[in-house]
Amino acid sequence: MKVFVQGLSLTDGPRNRIVKVSELTRVEDIIQNYPGSTGLLYNGRQLRSGILHKENVQNRSTLVVTHGILGGAPPRFTSKQRTRKLKPHIKKSRLPTMISLYEDDDTAETKCGHPITPDDMHHYCIAELQSGSLEFRCPQVDGNGKKNCNALWDVKEVSEIADWDVDEFQYVDKMLSQNYLARQRGIKECPFCRSYCRRIDIEKSKSYMWIL
């Protein structure tokens, strides 16, 4: 399995690379190549230690070194006009998709039991990301328009139903990390190197340090 590591070495400059990982590869094995870093961002979570495989890291995922994530605006995304199909192993539903309410032969049944097409899953999750979300939850509503499910979907299930390609999957990884950083108190973008820094003492100090 291979993953894309996006990072910045404080001594060597940009260091983005494709890294081959196994079921025994640890977070520490990745970050030791980036002096000064102590963690990775993946799917909106900070990983400081442990085995990557147990964190449900997928092939071709993007891992972001926390002290070197590039600043600026969120990555641009243009939805591709293509036919999205269900993979053979995904359970189909006979019900109309819960978002657009039309019937489709390629409607999946999610783990929480609700119907959604690959197109609806794709557009719904991209909209959630662009609104700042860190997770994907089932939007199934009752007859009064109130949410009555709200089950948490893992990224693996979402990506398989949405039929994301490599570019789309990497965009989702990056947006989850961007959204995570946007919610952290005391984080500010450095105007010189465009990396994110965290205030040393959020309550008192005006000085900043690299995110650790």
pLDDT band at residue 42 under the 50/70/90 scheme: confident
SS3 99: coil
The per-residue pLDDT for range 19-38, each reduced to its tens digit, is: 888 888 888 888 887 776 76
pLDDT for the residue numbered 23: 85
CA dist 93 → 82, 97, 145 (Å): 22, 9, 22
The model's confidence at residue 189, banded by pLDDT at 50, 70 and 90, is low
* Residue 46 Ramachandran class (φ > 0 left, ψ -120 to 50 alpha, else beta): beta
Distance CA(175)–CA(164), nearest Å, equals: 14
- Rg of the chain over Cα atoms, rounded to whole angstroms, equals 19
Cβ partners under 8 Å of residue 71, min gap 6: 189, 190, 194, 195, 196
| Rounded Cα–Cα distance for residues 210 and 54 (Å) | 27
Angle at 181 between CA 136 and CA 7, to 5 degrees: 105
Average pLDDT, the chain: 78
- Rounded distance between C-alpha atoms, residue 180 and residue 33, angstroms: 23
Domain residues of the chain, as ranges? 2-70+185-210, 81-164
Q: Residue 205: CA atoms inside 13 Å, Cβ hemisphere, count?
A: 10
Residue with tokens 């036919």: 83
For range 129-136, the mean pLDDT: 89
Fold of 2-70+185-210: Ubiquitin-like (UB roll) (3.10.20)
Q: Which of 28-42, 56-70, 102-116, 178-192 has the lowest mean pLDDT?
A: 178-192
Angle between helices 166-183 and 118-130 (to 10 degrees): 30
Tell me how far the alpha carbon of residue 61 is from its chain's centroid. 9
